[in-house]
Structure 1
Amino acid sequence: MIIVQFSPPNAGEKVCASLIRRRIFVIVIKAMGDVALDTLMSDFLQKSGGVAVIDGGLATELERYGADLNDPLWSAKCLLTSTHLIRQVHLDYLEAGADIIITASYQATIQGFEAKGYSPEDGESMLRKSVEIAHEARDIYYERCLESSSDCDCSNDGRVLKHRPILVAASVGSYGAYLADGSEYSGDYGDAMDLEFLKGFHRRRVQVLAESGADLIAFEAVPNKLEAQAFAELLEEGIIRIPAWFAFNSKDGVNVVSGDSMAECAAIADSCNKVVAVGINCTPPTFITALISTIKKATTKPILIYPNSGETYDAQRKQWVKNSGVPDEDFVSYVNTWCEMGASLIGGCCRTTPDTIRTIYRALPTRSGSSN
């Protein structure tokens, strides 16, 4: 059973973070097998006016704040050194209009922390912390909404301060992201790779994140069919009691980055009862329209789209190629087309910013008159 409740505090009632989380927006998931898990997303989308806004690039915003991410842990390094920056970036995206914030756990793996000299218990603690930080940002945001003079889409300084449902999605990157050798952009793990290895690599990480209070799991930049199958089978094992979404990445607008069929990968996600949305991330905006058409043929589940800025990433040099991307105004010009094609969750990935998300939020006609 899933209960979605929206209830601001009563007049004169003392406000605190726990009350805000409990009363303003509460999603209680009491998993009874797979009963009603899929209604989490449909209920959420209804309360979001039909289209929900996902946040934008996390790592590149952390770098803008001065974080040094030249490390195999990438943005997860900040879980060890700069949790305040992660919290601030989450808050920036909420104030830009994001309805879903994604945790700083994309490249956070127990094995990755062990390679840095930390114990498995320390690694699990860092995974939990990624969810806690997102919760803290959500609580701070709700407090600011209460302090605002009016419940409006935009304050005088351009911030979106509006009481609305907000989800925390726990990010899970691919095995290639852990390797930090560019294979997350190729999906090539070698001929010796097998399904059981991938399931064993991800199992405890996914379980810890699912038990940490996240609303759902976000499997991101899934690069090949084998890893999609591994994630789907993990969800069906019964150790994961919250829903998930699958986001694949593509470098040709036809297939996933490994060359595996996008339609076949989407069908794997569609076959899993705990998957509540299927789509694309970390892919140039120019490829998205064709990919939506492909995914629609494989699933009737909500489609999510959060492309990168279109800039080219040099995986060997680990840097972005300058002046190779799509400006915000052009990026946002695609949004209405994607919505018309059936996408119902839209945001950004690498190199998109709070300004990008703010522009997406303002471009959605449902936001001008919806009451969340």
Structure 2
Amino acid sequence: MYEDSTHVRQHALQSVHNATDAGRPSFERLLDKIEIPDRGRHKPILILDGGLGTTLEDEYQVTFSSRDTPTWSSHLLASSLETLLEVHRSFVQAGADIILTATYQASFNGFTSTRRYDLNVTSAERGGFYSQEEAGHLMRSAIPLARSAFGSKKGLLALSLGAYGATMIPSTEYTGKYPPEMGDCVNLERWHAQRINVFEADQKTWNEVDLVAFETLPRVDEIQAVRNAMQVLSMQKPFWISSVFPNDDEKLPDGSEVMDVLEAMVAQTPSESKLIGHPPTPVGIGINCTKVSKLRSLIQKFEEAAASMQVHLPHLVLYPDGANNMTYDTTSQLWGPAKDAAGVGKWEDEMFDIVHEVQERDKWAGIVVGGCCKTRPQHIARLSEKIKHKR
């Protein structure tokens, strides 16, 4: 349970001394778990997986809807573990060093709004909804499942945790429009802490998690909230924060400039939290669920902001949409043609060029690169082949 106790405050104070451990050294220790040729000679470039939900839709004919499957790809934790495992394995086989769990849109509200799925009865006989206890069990089950996808291969497991808006119906992580009660850093912190506690509460499950991925955050107060939520964990984990930039103004959906985003991500100053001490620093920051065409300018803005703030950049985490010629309508929940689709090159070629440019400028501790919506195993395989040849 999330609570502001003496123990929490003491742990928060200790986190000041652990701030360095929450940064780059923690990621360096993670690298011992995977095989990277010439690791000592080059800063690491790690391959992340691709779009889980859209791969399920495009290659496995899985149908999602807010009404019937409010937890989206997490629904398969109840309905088809075999299919989910097959998709995870396909990304491992494509060359992914890091696999994200099927928990992006998982939440208590989502599962308790989902009709119980029992393979032993017909659809007409199914009834009732999942309990809170069952919801927690289903969410935790994503971790050993994703871990098993590596088989005998080495790899890192990232616990995928989407923005609060990703669990809303319809989802609002692209707009950042939250209900009034969630327009407060403390309430967002409490919500994220409660969800993380589902996983941390089971030590065996938590031990399987290599790092936590906070994804598609559309607001600076939510960026602050997740850092504060990580601060109260009894067993710390390295984590990354990635945000979404869906609009042409290169700002967060809440209107924040990149300078404000970077400050919220890495600044060692207390925010609106009632906790004492500095929030932990992410091992990676970056951009996801954003068009490839926007990446170069956004990355350079992050680099310029870091120079202005005189801060060292952690790993760059980069996993944009694979749908260069498509865009997602959150109202209809369908993909359609993008208005600026003309002249778009191959996704993996563009990503390789961007990674190469970032590496040449040498501003980041390392790079994690993969894909988001509409990025299939084939895209990751082609990108992985290019990157690993460069390694």
Q: Same fold (TM over 0.5)?
A: yes
**C-alpha displacement at 1:43, in angstroms?**
4.4
Aligned to 1:368: 389
**Residue identity matched to 1:230:** A
Do the aligned partners of residues 303 and 90 (structure 1) sit closer, same or farther apart at CA in structure 2, a change above 3 Å counting?
same
Q: Is the Cα contact below 8 Å between 1:285 and 1:331 reproduced in 2?
A: no
Is 1:136 aligned to 2:161, yes or no? Answer: no
Number of residues paired by the alignment?
315
Q: Is the Cα contact below 8 Å between 1:97 and 1:358 reproduced in 2?
A: yes
**Residue identity matched to 1:248:** S
Aligned to 2:189: 199
**C-alpha displacement at 1:290, in angstroms?**
1.0
Larger RCO (CA under 8 A, 6+ residues apart): 2
Aligned to 1:151: none
Q: Matches of residues 24-103 of structure 1 in structure 2 within 5 Å?
A: 33=18, 36-38=21-23, 39-44=25-30, 47-48=35-36, 49=39, 50-63=44-57, 64-70=59-65, 71-103=69-101
Aligned to 1:270: 266
Do the aligned partners of residues 339 and 345 (structure 1) sit closer, same or farther apart at CA in structure 2, a change above 3 Å counting?
farther
Q: Is the Cα contact below 8 Å between 1:303 and 1:345 reproduced in 2?
A: yes
Is 1:235 aligned to 2:224, yes or no? Answer: no
Aligned to 1:295: 302
Residue number among 318, 323, 326 corresponding to 2:333 in the alignment: 318
Residue number among 250, 257, 260 corresponding to 1:261 in the alignment: 257
Rounded Cα–Cα distance in structure 1 between residues aligned with 2:345 and 2:81: 28
**C-alpha displacement at 1:261, in angstroms?**
2.1
Please state whether the residue corresponding to 1:55 is helix, strand or coil: coil
Q: Matches of residues 65-214 of structure 1 in structure 2 within 5 Å?
A: 65-70=60-65, 71-116=69-114, 117-139=129-151, 142=152, 165-192=154-181, 193-210=183-200, 211=203, 212=205, 213-214=208-209
TM normalised by structure 1 equals 0.78
**C-alpha displacement at 1:34, in angstroms?**
5.1
Residue number among 342, 352, 359 corresponding to 2:375 in the alignment: 352
**C-alpha displacement at 1:133, in angstroms?**
0.8
Do the aligned partners of residues 240 and 267 (structure 1) sit closer, same or farther apart at CA in structure 2, a change above 3 Å counting?
farther
Aligned to 1:225: 220
Rounded Cα–Cα distance in structure 2 between residues aligned with 1:328 and 1:170: 31
* 1:116-156 alpha-carbon deviations (Å, 9 max, x no partner): 322221111111111111011112xx2xxxxxxxxxxxxxx
Q: Is the Cα contact below 8 Å between 1:45 and 1:52 reproduced in 2?
A: no
Please state whether the residue corresponding to 2:346 is helix, strand or coil: helix
Give % identity.
28
Q: Is the Cα contact below 8 Å between 1:282 and 1:350 reproduced in 2?
A: yes
In structure 2, runs of 5+ residues without a counterpart are 1-14, 115-128, 268-278, 307-311, 360-365
In structure 1, runs of 5+ residues without a counterpart are 1-30, 143-162
Rounded Cα–Cα distance in structure 2 between residues aligned with 1:57 and 1:241: 27
Q: Is the Cα contact below 8 Å between 2:216 and 2:289 reproduced in 1?
A: yes
Do the aligned partners of residues 180 and 329 (structure 1) sit closer, same or farther apart at CA in structure 2, a change above 3 Å counting?
same
Do the aligned partners of residues 174 and 368 (structure 1) sit closer, same or farther apart at CA in structure 2, a change above 3 Å counting?
same
**C-alpha displacement at 1:334, in angstroms?**
3.4
**C-alpha displacement at 1:262, in angstroms?**
2.6
**C-alpha displacement at 1:242, in angstroms?**
0.8
Aligned to 2:274: none
Do the aligned partners of residues 44 and 214 (structure 1) sit closer, same or farther apart at CA in structure 2, a change above 3 Å counting?
closer
Select between 295-304 and 223-232 the one with higher mean Cα deviation.
295-304
TM normalised by structure 2 equals 0.74
**C-alpha displacement at 1:44, in angstroms?**
4.5
**Residue identity matched to 1:313:** Y
